[in-house]
Amino acid sequence: MKVSELNLKAKSLLEAHLSDIELSGEISKITLHSSGHWYFELKDEKSSIACAMFKGANSKLNFKPSIGDSLNLRGFVSLYEQSGRYQFIATSMSKSGFGDLEARFLALKAKLEGEGLFDDKFKKPLPKFPKKVGIITSSTSAALQDMLKLITQKEYFLAKFFVFNALTQGNTAPASLIKALKKADEAGLDLIIIARGGGSREDLFCFNDEDLARAIFSAKTPIISAIGHEIDYVISDFVADFRAPTPSAAIDLCFFSRFSLEQNLDLLQDKLKTLCEAKMTSLKNELFNLEKIFKMQSLPLKIEQNLKQNKELLKSFQNAMKNRLNLEELKLINLQNAFFQHENFFKRSKNLVSIQKNGKITRLNELKSGDKVVLSSQDLSKEAQII
């Protein structure tokens, strides 16, 4: 059998056995398609179902439904063959008497928002590890049992939990909730959770009360609103300091398990150890550098450096003096050599004779026969005539 064949048979069975059904609930989602068909979801406190109302049927109505409307439907159960999705096909629709709930909700929301009751600047921070926690809910509700069970599973041992019983449905519920809230707010708690499980729009509407909203806003203790399911929004969600999508989520989001706390402590210990080791290494390096600087600037080192410098200066001075003496000695030797050369010259010059003519020394090749000259030597001078 093909999938399409199975879906077709399922559709035939559903339409044959569930052909005339009356269904009531609240719209949680809706799409008014451009084709004229309406697609929406109808829910109660436990379940939801996909619904469709085709153009031929909805064109007879004098209103268009919206999210939050409580409706009475008549129709049959079918199956969409292409996806195999189970759905309710509405052939008629009427409001169940609570059609104005959404309008009342939106009007109060706009009023309180305009007054600033939803502003973040008024939100009180939630304590990270609250020691005293109050839970405002019905003491017989399944939501409370789920919360307490989760607290036990988490082994959350840092706080004591106090339950403040209150009505969470009906016309007298707002007054009961306000009374419990005032009592809890005066008990010196660190945190208050206002909780209620899922339900229809009508069931949850007591949390859209204006007096309750103002009581939540005026409370000194941080407040978590945990009403219905994730898709449910009430006024207390907006005015509270924090909104949890469900009562159980309030416990999950705001309280750590024993295991998580121990694991966080281990991580913090490892992080602290790493930071300490890095700091110690940094300080050791800094100390080593300071020690080097101190040694470089210490008096013994400076004296040693000065002595070394003096030795180098003395050695340079000695070398300079040695070089100067060598130079002077060389000059003296040169003078001695020159002296000895002149002495030898004088010794040799005793045998030398100079010829003067007319008082001037004259060379032999310049003399003529008959010239009168003076012959001079180191020992004597005599006149003579050139033959």
May I ask the CATH class of domain 104-256? alpha beta
**359: which residues sit within 8 A by CB, 6+ positions away?**
none
Segment 83-87 mean pLDDT: 84
pLDDT, residue 214, reads 96
Pick the CATH number of 3-99 from 1.10.260.40, 2.40.50.140, 2.60.120.10, 1.10.10.10: 2.40.50.140
What's the pLDDT at 164? 96
CA 181/CA 174 separation, integer angstroms:
10
Quick: pLDDT tens for 43-84.
Answer: 987 888 999 999 988 988 878 888 888 888 999 988 887 777
Annotate 13-50 with b (16+ C-beta within 10 A) or e (fewer).
ebeeeeeeeebebbbbebeeeeeeebebbbbbbeeeee
Identity of the residue numbered 164: F
Q: Which two tokens stand for residue 124?
A: 């009180």
Q: Which residue has the tokens 């999508």?
A: 245
- Per DSSP, which regions of the chain are E strands? 21-32, 38-43, 48-53, 70-80, 85-95, 132-137, 160-165, 191-196, 223-227, 242-243, 354-357, 360-361, 372-376, 381-385
When pLDDT is cut at 50, 70 and 90, the band that residue 240 belongs to is very high
The pLDDT score that the predictor gives to residue 351 is 54
Alpha-carbon distance of 244 to 252, in angstroms, equals: 9
> Is residue 123 very low, low, confident or very high in pLDDT (cuts 50, 70, 90)?
very high
Torsion angle (degrees, nearest 10) of CA 89, 94, 96, 98: 110
Of the two residues 313 and 219, the one the predictor is more confident about is 219
Per cent of the chain over pLDDT 70 is 86
Kindly give the pairing relationship between strand 21-32 and strand 70-80.
Answer: antiparallel
The tokens for 43 are: 């829910």
**The overall pTM is greater than 0.85:** no
Mean pLDDT on 90-97: 81
The helix/strand/coil state of 123 is: coil
Query: What tens digit of pLDDT does each residue of 143-201 get?
Result: 999 999 988 887 777 889 999 999 998 889 999 999 999 999 999 999 999 999 988 77
Q: Which two tokens stand for residue 56?
A: 């031929």
pLDDT reported for residue 163: 96
Tell me the per-residue pLDDT of 99-114, one tens digit each, with 9 for 90 and over: 567 778 889 999 999 9
pLDDT at site 174: 95
Residue 126: φ, ψ to 5°: -85, 140
Judging by beta carbons within 10 Å of its beta carbon (0-12, 13-18, 19+), is residue 89 exposed, middle or buried?
A: middle
Q: Check: CB of residue 190 under 8 Å from CB of residue 162.
A: no
All structural domains of the chain with their residue ranges: 3-99, 104-256, 260-297, 354-385
Instruction: Convert the pLDDT of each residue in 356-380 to its tens digit.
Output: 667 676 776 777 777 776 766 655 5
* Percent share of the chain, pLDDT over 90: 33
